[in-house]
Amino acid sequence: MNGRIKVIDLTQPIFNEMACWPGQLKNRIWTYNTHEETGRQYKMSFQTTAMLLNDHNGTHVDAPNHRDPKGKSIDQIPLERFYTEAICVDAREVKPDEYVTVEYVKAYLERTGLTIRRGDTFLLCTGHYEKYTNARMEYVLEPFTGLDGRTAEWLADQGISGFGTDAPAPDGWKSIAKGEFPADVTFNAKRGILVFENLCNLVKLVGKRFKFIAPPLKIVGCTGSPVRAMAILEE
């Protein structure tokens, strides 16, 4: 990049009692050492914070072993996978009880002039986070827009490296209501495509091409990790 850059934060805040997928562990954050306590033991004081985190809460990436028992864990994935070109498709007009289809994506790409390149991260703006935010459990309980299995297969055939959404999962709500996750399984277990969930601020990126950066923590054996996702735009 030769010009000025603009950084868009795509990461939801992490805090106590934030929304999480039903049945999963909630985050817990608390002060472990206080300045008052350590000041009595040392010539200087310090404070530390303890965290009990679920590797799939908030803005995170799924590792292949999340769906595939024989898949790689998050610490085994090359860092290059988390620094890619990306595009963002606006799906806010698609109702939560409908799917984002291949036809919809193709029409959007033709209308905006965007193209999917091999190695891209494909981001889907549904508007779900702006509607609910992760401070409310409605964020994970209310229907949200997503893909059907056919569209996930088509995107995988285009050679994408990653898929991201500002909703809790890549699948359409109609599939999830039946306990089915065809898009997630296609990306994660079958095609080795990284899945980034619970992003935010995607409305600022619709119809654009940019750099996508979302490095995970190097947690041995984990099925996912929180990420600090961001988009880099050249102005």
**What domains are there in the chain, each with its CATH number?**
60-234 (3.50.30.50)
Q: Which residues contact 4 (CB under 8 A, 6 or more apart)?
A: 234, 235
pLDDT at position 2, please?
59
Interatomic CA distance for residues 24 and 133, integer angstroms? 18
Number of H helices, E strands in the chain: 7, 13
So what's the pLDDT on residue 235?
79
pLDDT tens column, 186-228: 999 999 999 999 999 999 999 999 999 999 999 999 999 999 9
Residue 158: predicted pLDDT: 98
DSSP readout, 127-195? SHHHHH-TTSTHHHHS---EE-HHHHHHHHHTT-SEEEESSS-SB-HHHHHTT--HHHIIIIIIS--EE
Contact 196/163 with Cβ under 8 angstroms?
Answer: yes
Among the listed residues 218, 114, 103, 229, the one whose alpha carbon sits nearest the alpha carbon of residue 163: 229
pLDDT of 42 reads 94
Q: Are strands 230-234 and 209-213 parallel, antiparallel or unpaired?
A: antiparallel
Phi, psi of 213 (to 5 degrees): -125, 125
10, 202 Cβ separation under 8 angstroms:
yes
How far is C-alpha 105 from the geometric centre of its chain's CA atoms?
19
Work out the widest C-alpha separation in the chain, in whole angstroms. 67
pLDDT < 70 regions, the chain: 1-2
CA-CA distance, 142 to 162, in Å (whole number)? 25
